[in-house]
Structure 1
Amino acid sequence: MSEALMKKIRLIGLVPVVKIDDAAKAVPLAKAMIAGGLPVAEVTFRTAAAEEAISNIAKAVPEMLLGAGTVTGIEFAKKAVKAGAKFIVSPGFNPEVVDWALENDVPIVPGVCTPSDIEAGLSRGLSVLKFFPAEASGGVDMLKNFAGPFSNVTFMPTGGINAKNLGSYAALSNVLAVGGSWMVKSDLIENERWDEITALCSEAVLALQGLRFAHLGINETSKERAQVAATMLELLGMTRTVGNSSTFLDTVIEVTHTPFLGKHGHLGFACNNVDRAAHYLQKKGFTLNEESVKRDDKGAMKSCYFTEEIAGFALHLIKG
């Protein structure tokens, strides 16, 4: 499995599952998706147009990270790769397809829904698997249960996922990316509603991040001055918690004991995945403050700051 490819998919975080009936509409669809912030697609072999659609996108929109889905046999796999697919996805664990892909150095994400399926993948050296059908197979709770015995496996849950439950999947540490089709529905493609697809993709990408205001950080010059501020805020009914470097009032105001990033302080935003949200914000023009990045023991970001300030406040991302 290509680590570079999987890293790209992880940072994007959402893989549209596309069913195309008319290959002539593949290129404008791909461009609409990219305009909405989703430069990745799983074009399914559910229609006769799939192979040509993949070929059209691969030639005209090379920046699209293009995969083929519903690859249920070796012939489909061969057609997908020849047409230009960079990875293949199958709904179930077909040993013949998996073995062919591994023998030919083709990244594959086979479908699983049971521990036995996962062990079959592990026995072949696979660490990224598709959890399908996600909602019908236990959804978020099942993925949480998988995290214990299969701590080195990440999943691409697909099936029954929509704009409403997207965030609950995206927040899981063992989810590489989420698969869904609500932003690329067949009727939208059929009627060439490209602007609407772009808007839905953009909305989905933002929802995926799960960005929400967490706390306000206020810079003070000393621990003593921070306690003066805390005393005043306690009069408003807030509860003080004194730490080594700052004092929190409830969980929404943080007063630093020494000046930190930001002219006045920082705006803390929680998100589903810090690496992914940082990538998203950088695409929007923010600049990551590399020195501020904190990571967990697996190398994933726990928190970070950006160099830009909003009215004198630095932007701070935290996992939450």
Structure 2
Amino acid sequence: MGKPTLLVLAAGMASRYGSLKQVDEFGPHGETIVDYSIYDAIQAGFGKVVFIIRKEFEDVMRSKFDAKLEGKIEVDYAFQDFDLTKFGVDRVIERSKPWGTAHAVMSAKDKVEGAFCVINADDFYGTDSFIKMAKFLNEEVTDKHMALMGFAVGNTMSDYGYVSRGVCEVSAAGNMASVTERTNIYYKGEGAGRKIVFNENDVEYELDPQTRVSMNFWGFTPKVFDVCLDLFPAFVEENAENPKAEFFIPSIPDYMVKHGMADFKVIPTSSKWFGVTYPEDKPIVQESISALVAQGAYPEKLF
């Protein structure tokens, strides 16, 4: 079995952030957030990274990553675009943005051989996550047994407002029974009495800080491409007139579990997640990375 591949979702326009988060600088020597993920992936034993991008991002992405990663890990690019014919859809649909994260993953199907994992470019996942995912992909993964990284919700919160998380129901065997998107998770109260709650239909429900949530960090085999290709044409037909409809990654594991095609192990991690959505998030991420460098978790200059 060859080394696993890291697929990086980096095609977003970052409209709320105001610039390309994929190449913005957060570390002491201009490192991007995904530089830290790639560093962790290399240390954990990944052999290739594939950036899934829009074609118009290619020059800026290559200028940012190719030279510094040369000789350290194989680098390749896949392009998410509006050509649906390669996915079995023989029609043109006018849209201002592509078809979502599962569509992005499909765009890399010719770039992957063997086990792989998918991450977001603008999320910091932490060393523990990559070590555990690499171990799973090297030792356990099959077409019928895949995985997602399960973060403790208490390690993914913001002090500045609501967050949206995929809250996992985990079976006694440690597998995903369901993932429910909760869009209004927030802190309530102060100090030692502070709780994590979510609001549904104007009713607040408390969440244990150790409740596992999905942060779009998945461990797959190429079987996932086949399932995406089976489901995507019908999704497009059903949503041809909905310009905001998106073919999201979690819908694929959910379908596979419900149809008995595979189970998904929820791998618990102690890593603390952080990421950027708004410009105001940048100094917080910079401070978090500086603290990790000061603690010796990362070298001051990664590459």
Q: Flag the structure with more relative contact order, 1 or 2, with Cα contacts below 8 A and sequence separation at least 6.
A: 2
Same fold (TM over 0.5): no
Shorter-chain-normalised TM-score: which range? under 0.3
**TM-score, normalisation: structure 2:** 0.25
